[in-house]
């Protein structure tokens, strides 16, 4: 039988400014360990600590621009574009432009605070 997800769970975000994370599918909202799907809304000037997660992350930017720093450089992902970050890669996300960003993040396996391995601030 299909499982209806009636509403997301609001997840506490890391970073220097408030960011909205609504998890629809994942460990917190649907007790799904295989994948997590979340709707993110990051304000202008938001930046989170670097991390080296144990999951692949697939991100589709809906509006604005998401900056993805990695060892050796950075890539700016704009509305209508997507980016894949592979597990084990060091990465840091930010939204440096005036409009911030809205995006969908999909993690395989599902996101977990225990497997993201964020740097301490």
83 belongs to a structural domain:
yes
Secondary structure (3-state) at 115: helix
Q: Which residues contact 67 (CB under 8 A, 6 or more apart)?
A: 74, 75, 76, 77, 93, 94, 95, 96
Q: Are strands 36-42 and 20-25 parallel, antiparallel or unpaired?
A: antiparallel
5 belongs to a structural domain:
no
- Asked if pLDDT for residue 121 goes beyond 70, the answer is no
113 belongs to a structural domain:
no
10-38: pLDDT as tens digits: 999 999 999 999 999 999 999 999 999 99
105 belongs to a structural domain:
no
Residue ranges making up the domain that contains 60: 54-94
Say what the pLDDT of residue 120 is.
86
73 belongs to a structural domain:
yes
User: What pTM, to 2 d.p., does this model score?
Assistant: 0.94
Q: Are strands 36-42 and 56-70 parallel, antiparallel or unpaired?
A: unpaired
Burial of 22 by CB count in 10 Å (0-12 exposed, 13-18 middle, 19+ buried)?
A: middle
49-71: pLDDT as tens digits: 999 999 999 999 999 999 999 99
39 belongs to a structural domain:
no
Number of domains present in the structure of the chain: 1
Using CA atoms, how far apart are residues 109 and 63, in angstroms rounded to an integer? 25
109 belongs to a structural domain:
no
77 belongs to a structural domain:
yes
74-107: pLDDT as tens digits: 999 999 999 999 999 999 999 999 999 999 999 9
């Amino acid at each position: 039988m299909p499982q209806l997800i009636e509403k997301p769970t609001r997840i506490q975000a890391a970073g220097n400014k408030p960011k909205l994370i609504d998890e629809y599918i994942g460990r917190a909202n649907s007790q799904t360990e295989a994948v997590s799907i979340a709707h993110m809304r990051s304000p202008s000037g938001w930046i989170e600590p670097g991390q080296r997660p144990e999951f692949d992350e697939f991100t589709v930017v809906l509006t604005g621009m998401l900056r993805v720093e990695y060892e050796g450089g950075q890539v700016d992902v704009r509305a209508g574009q997507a980016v894949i970050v592979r597990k084990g890669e060091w990465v840091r996300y930010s939204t440096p432009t005036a409009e911030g960003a809205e995006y969908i993040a999909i993690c395989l396996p599902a996101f977990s605070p225990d497997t993201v391995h964020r740097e301490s601030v």
